Amino acid sequence: MKRLFKTILLLSFILNTPFALAEAVVPVDIIKSITDEVLNRVESDKDQLKNNPGEMYDLVSDLVFPNFDFAVMSRFVLGSYWDQADVKQKGEFIDQFRKLLVRTYASALLEFSDQTIEYPTDRNVIKEKTAKIVQVVITQGEPVTVIYRLHNTKDKWLAFDVSVSGVSLIKTYRGSFKSIIETEGLDQLINSLKEKNKKFGNS
C-alpha cells in the first residue's frame, strides 16, 4: 500500500485546477501544465516543507483536494456500511478520511524526485459525464501506469478514484476499513482515524 500511495500522492497534484466542461478544454492538456507548475513549486520549497508539516498539509488541502469528490469516495469506500450510517457518522467519516489522505499525500509527495511523466492520450476515455485519464510515470527507470477516474458534476470535473498499476485507492481502503468495521464498528473506525490524525498534527 505504501508504494501505491507514494505514486498516487505526487500525481494527484494534477487535479488542483477545476476542469471545465467546455468542449474546447481538453483535460489532459490542463493536467500537463498544472503538473509542471506544482512539481516545480514543491521541488523549490522541499526543505522548508519537510521542516514544516503544517505547510505541507495546507499545500495539499489548498491545491489538490478541492478537486476530489470526498462524498462519493467515502460512499464507495464504506460500501454497504454507508447506507447504514447516520448523517453524523457520514460527515465525521468524510472529514477524517480526507485528513488521512492529506497526511498520506503530504508525506509521500516529499519523497519524489527525478520522475518523468508521459501521457499516452490514445488510452484516455473522455465522455460527457465521466473521464479516464492515463499517465505513465517513470521513476528510476521503472514505468508505472496511473489512471484517474473523474466525473462531471455541476460543470466541474472531480476525481473519485486513482489506480496505480491496477491497484485502486478506493478498493484498497475499502478492504482495510471493512475488517475494522466488521469487528469493532463504524464509530470505532472513525475514532481511530481521529486519533491518528491528531497524533500527526492534522486534527
- Separation of alpha carbons 109 and 6, rounded Å: 7
Looking at residue 23, what is its pLDDT? 43
Assign 200 to helix, strand or coil: coil
- Please give the grid coordinates belonging to residue 38: 506544482
Cα Rg of the chain, angstroms = 17
> Would you kindly state where each structural domain of the chain is located, as residue ranges?
2-199
- Separation of alpha carbons 171 and 72, rounded Å: 13
92-146 pLDDT, tens digit per residue, is: 999 999 999 988 877 877 777 777 888 898 898 989 888 898 988 887 778 999 8
Looking at residue 200, what is its pLDDT? 80
From the list 74, 80, 72, the residue with the least C-alpha distance to 150 is 72
CB 124 within 8 A of CB 146: no
- pLDDT tens track of the chain, all 203 residues? 555 555 555 555 445 444 444 344 556 765 665 667 667 777 888 888 888 888 888 878 887 787 789 999 999 999 999 999 999 999 999 999 999 998 887 787 777 777 788 889 889 898 988 889 898 888 777 899 989 898 988 878 888 999 989 999 999 999 999 999 999 999 999 999 999 999 887 66
- Please give the grid coordinates belonging to residue 176: 482495510
Topology, domain 2-199:
Nuclear Transport Factor 2; Chain: A, (3.10.450)
146 DSSP 8-state letter: E
C-beta neighbour count of 185 within 10 angstroms: 12
